[in-house]
């Protein structure tokens, strides 16, 4: 029988060497305290229900935790301090950023499969699509890159480099977070930035669908399961909710008004 758990993760700077806590979601009781090194924002990822992969906040290490046991079961050595980390949902691949480089590992063996160069400054955000066929990266160079997993792996096997499928450069300041909706290559992508905007993209075409502006820099973005509501976290600590259905309806109305105006002018 499956159960729901809640994971809370600590940021660096705490007095105790605690990575996080595992709670029973329904009862609200503490099950495990994860003792060990703290991680950085965007430096951890869960998969398989029992495994969490997290990078060390100061060392070149990736720790693999068992949530049921409450302890580290494996450590991976990295070429430098990890600045962003993400696993595919099936737990096969792990991607991590060291400065501007992106590394792709086979998680169960720890084998390095590919090294990617698509950014000019430190990568701060990584995200897989729901089916693992694509992944995205965002960094301090204001760019969001879209990568095809199969193309990256096949090119690396031939000692060749694989360029991004798309490079989005609409943000004017560092990208802080990326969220990918459902639908694989047909999904929508949500990126946010210190430039006070959250942008919505179409994965397949690379087209920018919408740009939402807030009163201050945006640090985190996500949606509900149906992608009807967008949630963003701001630098100030505030959380904003946006009705996406209403947002796109208003955009459609504006397009129709423009169309009718053009027809009238003709």
Give the residue-averaged pLDDT of 216-222: 95
Q: What is the mean pLDDT of residues 218-226?
A: 92
pLDDT band per the 50, 70, 90 thresholds, residue 133: very high
For the record, the structure tokens of 150 come out as: 């199969």
pLDDT of residue 9: 72
pLDDT tops 80 at residue 169: yes
CA–chain centroid gap for 178, Å, is 4
Q: Answer whether 139's CB lies under 8 Å from 101's CB.
A: no
The pLDDT of residue 221 is 95
**With the C-alpha atoms ordered 213, 215, 216, 221, is the resulting torsion angle positive or negative?**
negative
pLDDT digits (tens, 9 = 90+) for 51-103: 778 777 777 878 787 777 777 777 878 888 889 999 888 888 989 999 999 99
- The residues, any chain, with a CB within 8 Å of residue 143's CB and separated by 6 or more, are 118, 119, 120, 167, 168, 169, 171, 175
Q: Which residues pair with 147 in a beta bridge?
A: 135
Pairwise CA distance, residues 238 & 255, whole Å: 32
Of the pLDDT bands very low, low, confident and very high (cuts 50, 70, 90), residue 18 is low
Residue 66 confidence (pLDDT)? 75
Q: What DSSP assignment string belongs to 183-233?
A: SGGG-EEEEEETTSEEEEEETTT--EEEEEE-SS-EEEEEE-TTS-EEEEE
Is 259 in contact with 251 (CB distance < 8 Å)?
Answer: no
The burial of 18, by beta-carbon neighbours within 10 Å (0-12 exposed, 13-18 middle, 19 or more buried), is given as: middle
The whole-chain average pLDDT of the chain stands at: 84
CA atoms within 13 A on the CB side of 245: 5
Give the lowest-confidence range in 4-18, 156-170, 180-194: 4-18
Note the pLDDT tens digit of each residue in 172-217: 999 999 999 999 999 999 999 999 999 999 999 999 999 999 999 9
Q: How confident is the model at residue 131 (pLDDT cuts 50, 70, 90)?
A: very high
User: What mean pLDDT comes out for the span 115-143?
Assistant: 95
């Amino acid at each position: 029988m499956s159960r729901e758990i809640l994971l809370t993760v600590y940021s660096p700077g705490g007095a105790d060497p605690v990575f996080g806590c595992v709670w029973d979601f329904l009862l609200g009781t503490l099950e495990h305290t994860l003792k060990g090194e703290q991680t950085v924002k965007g430096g951890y990822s869960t998969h398989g229900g029992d495994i969490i992969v997290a990078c060390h906040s100061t060392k070149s290490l990736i720790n693999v935790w068992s949530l049921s046991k409450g302890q580290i079961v494996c450590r991976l050595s990295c070429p430098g301090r990890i600045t962003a980390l993400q696993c595919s949902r099936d737990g096969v691949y792990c991607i991590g950023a060291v400065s501007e480089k992106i590394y792709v590992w086979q998680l169960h063996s720890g084998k390095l499969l590919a090294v990617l160069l698509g950014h000019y400054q430190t990568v701060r955000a990584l995200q897989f699509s729901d089916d693992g066929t694509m992944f995205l990266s965002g960094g301090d160079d204001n760019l969001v890159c879209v990568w095809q997993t199969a193309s990256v792996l096949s090119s690396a096997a031939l000692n060749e480099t694989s360029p991004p499928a798309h490079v989005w450069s609409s943000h004017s300041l560092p990208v802080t977070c990326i969220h990918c909706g459902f639908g694989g290559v047909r999904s929508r992508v949500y990126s946010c930035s210190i430039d006070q905007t959250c942008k919505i993209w179409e994965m397949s075409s690379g087209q920018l669908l919408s740009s939402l502006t807030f009163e201050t820099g945006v640090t985190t973005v996500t949606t509900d399961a149906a992608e009807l509501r967008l949630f963003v976290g701001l630098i100030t600590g505030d959380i904003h909710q946006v009705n996406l259905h209403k947002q796109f309806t208003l955009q459609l109305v504006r397009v129709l008004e423009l169309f009718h105006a053009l027809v009238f002018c003709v």
